[in-house]
Chain A
Amino acid sequence: MVKNKMHLEFDSKSENESFARVAVAAFCTRLDPTIEEIADIKTAVSEAVTNCVVHGYEGKEGTITIECSIQDDWVTVLVHDDGVGIENINKAMEPLYTSKPELERSGMGFSFMEAFMDELEVDSKIGYGTTVIMKKRIGVINK
């Protein structure tokens, strides 16, 4: 059984989005993922972290936390912010819905997380922040 975990904490700044997705992708490489699987994880993490920066903290200061763990062939990525929270999670998860059309958000963030990962769970409370937990099984095609 392969078991490993890591924890990241960084400022809510857009320049940290690339750091976050690359760090998670690098952590997952020990599972020997395909290029496509790595691209999937990078996209999902990028969407989740961007949501924290744009929606959670609305461009203001804050701290984003990522907890990533590997268990057997599953990767679990938790992305958390202590921001404003989501009023209506179902609405937020609708494809093409965005609460910030003026910022040219495409409304595809959650859709991409759902499309590129195997499981997605969103927990949010107004005034307390949002936690996104995503899971993906690596190497399914080869097994």
Chain B
Amino acid sequence: MDYIYMITEDRMIISLNADLDHHLADEIREVIDKIIDERGVKYIIFDFSKISFMDSAGIGLIMGRYKKIRGIGKIAVVGVNPSIERILQISGLHKIVKEYPDVAQAAKKMQEAKV
């Protein structure tokens, strides 16, 4: 599988196993949106710890989900390597998406923010 997702209440964790390019972004976009709508997901964590590459299609994917849940939820990215970090910085995405070292810390912070 190029990606695995896990849903707990209103939180969705998407662990990527393949480079996040246009090919993969097209594949997972509809899957994520369907789950957001059907399961009422408000918090999304993108786990990049197993991959080392993302291009502007990844920016489009994250930005699109940000617009979808803006106002009701949050998006976090975790396990980002230096190359992906540069993409997040150059695109300005780091200003709207929180970054954490791993899934556990992201989940903890999101949970705290809810209370």
Contact = CB atoms under 8 A, between A and B. Distances in A.
A42 B87 CA distance: 12
Given A14-B23, A115-B90, A104 B53 contact: no
Nearest to A110: B56
Instruction: Indicate the member of B22, B26, B29 with the most A CB atoms within 10 Å.
Output: B22
A54 B60 CA distance: 14
Interface of A: 14-15, 17-18, 21, 35-36, 39, 42-43, 46-47, 50, 53-54, 103-109, 111-112, 115
B57 interface: yes
Interface in B30-78: 52-53, 55-57, 59-61, 63-64
Most buried by B among A36, A43, A104, A109: A104
Contact of B59 (A14, A46, A103, A108): A108
Contact of A112 (B19, B52, B55, B61): B55
Contacts of A109: 56
B29 A104 contact: yes
A107 B90 CA distance: 13
Given A104-B29, A106-B91, A112 B22 contact: no
Contacts of A42: 53
- Chain A binding site: helix, strand, loop or mixed by DSSP? helix
Interface residues of B, number: 24
25 contacts: A14-B22, A14-B26, A17-B21, A21-B53, A35-B82, A36-B83, A39-B52, A39-B82, A39-B83, A42-B53, A43-B53, A43-B83, A43-B87, A46-B22, A46-B55, A47-B56, A54-B22, A104-B63, A105-B56, A106-B59, A107-B56, A108-B56, A109-B56, A112-B56, A115-B90
A46 B82 contact: no
A104 B64 contact: yes
Contacts of B59: 106, 108
A12 to B, nearest CB: 12
